[in-house]
Amino acid sequence: MISFDVVSLFTNVPPTFTIDYILDQLYPVCSTNCLQLSKSKQCVDCKRRIDFQTLLEIATSKTHFSFNNKRYVQHDGVAMGAPLAPIIADIFMAYLETTLMDELISLGVCE
């Protein structure tokens, strides 16, 4: 049995990749490519996808925090203490685990 730990999980989670992964799972890519069309001509799923993407990006980007009476903006990862941080980190880790296990199984390393 092997056990691994993630160092600095929240700061190493790629929010943009994870948001795209979440959107791909919830809203499969539209066959008519309406994401390139104006919003009034898009299908309902594409509109929902864009709206949800906007909400996730607002909630995970430009996170501010203070340290030693100075204010900072976190540019990488998700902020510890942010409401969505554990969920985003968990989704990314589930993706990573599934991808790596599939690769190990295809190589015959494990069953």
Q: What is the C-alpha separation between 26 and 20, in angstroms, rounded?
A: 10
Q: What is the C-alpha separation between 85 and 31, in angstroms, rounded?
A: 32
The b/e string for 77-87 (b: 16+ C-beta within 10 A; e otherwise) is bbbeebeebee
What is residue 1's predicted lDDT score, i.e. its pLDDT? 65
CB 94 within 8 A of CB 30: no
Per-residue pLDDT of the chain in tens (111 residues, 90 and over written 9): 666 777 788 888 999 999 999 999 998 877 667 767 777 777 888 888 889 999 999 988 878 888 899 998 888 888 888 889 999 999 999 999 999 988 988 988 887
Q: What is the C-alpha separation between 59 and 53, in angstroms, rounded?
A: 10
pTM comes to 0.80
